[in-house]
Amino acid sequence: MASDFKVMQDTEKEIQEAITLSSMDRQISVSGVAELTIAPDRYSITIKCNASKDTVQDAKNSVMRRTDYIVQSLQNSALKEEDYQLYKHVTHSDSLAHVHCEIEAHFTDIQKCQNIANFLSEKLGPGVSVTLPRCYHARGSMDKLRRQAGMLAIHNARQKALEMAKILHLSIGSVLKVQEIGITESQDTSKEDEGLLDTNDSIHQRIKEATISVSSKVNVCFQLKPAKSKRN
């Protein structure tokens, strides 16, 4: 019983230390913390095909048949022209002309990305190579998450202030000051720790490594007011 009383005293003491009271003003300053996590929302694959022929034109024609099929397949999957880029370059060696082609395609859905990658590998076989998806975030996604984390930290600070004021039979009023103490970002680094190679990454592992957590901490000062009396 005495132990419970001491804990209650310590709690009230901590709250009193957070509160500044004077004849002219009453205020409470509290910290709030929030953490949000965002998985990647963009995915890209690179499709490569090459041809080696006696003439440049023959090599181009060989590659063109496959690239036309690839582009048509991407369009059939509802990708627009701005969602993919095509790169070609020509080299010569041993009296042969080599044409190398890469198509980089970007998706908003990982399932669609995997489906088209598997489809092209099955249909074109060794004539093409398709990379595993690269997982990343759309422009603006991280800025939005940072703002959301900051807003949630302020909300959590307000909830804390409400509970502390209630114990002292007071209520909180206007916000007097908001200060961002810090914001941190972190993501999975297990691959680096284990020394694994990119070629050994599974799609699940790539998504995990691209998932980012944002933590925000703020300090908020509220005005304190007498609690409203309950009417009978």
pLDDT confidence of residue 9: 57
Q: Which DSSP symbol is given to 55?
A: S
pLDDT band at 190 (very low <50, low <70, confident <90, very high): low
- Which part of the chain is CATH 3.30.110.170? 2-39+140-226
Contact 97, 52 (CB under 8 A): yes
What residues contact residue 2 under an 8 Å CB cut-off, 6+ apart? none
pLDDT confidence of residue 17: 59
Over residues 27-32, mean pLDDT: 95
- CATH (residue range 42-136): 3.30.70.330
Rg (Cα) of the chain, in Å, rounded?
30
- Which part of the chain is CATH 3.30.70.330? 42-136
User: Does the pLDDT value for residue 218 go beyond 80?
Assistant: yes
Instruction: Judge residue 102's burial from the number of C-beta atoms within 10 Å of its C-beta, 0-12 exposed, 13-18 middle, 19 or more buried.
Output: middle
pLDDT confidence of residue 187: 87
pLDDT band at 107 (very low <50, low <70, confident <90, very high): very high
pLDDT confidence of residue 195: 44
Measured distance CA(99)–CA(10) in Å, rounded: 77
pLDDT confidence of residue 152: 98
User: Does the pLDDT value for residue 197 go beyond 50?
Assistant: no
Over residues 23-41, mean pLDDT: 88
CATH architecture for residues 2-39+140-226: 2-Layer Sandwich (3.30)
Which among 54, 46, 82, 50 is positioned nearest to 65, based on CA atoms? 50
pLDDT tens digits, one per residue of 129-177: 999 999 999 989 999 999 999 999 999 999 999 999 999 899 999 999 9
Measured distance CA(170)–CA(66) in Å, rounded: 74
User: Does the pLDDT value for residue 20 go beyond 70?
Assistant: no
Mark 70-93 as b/e (b = at least 16 C-beta within 10 Å): bbebbeebebeeebbeeeeeeeee
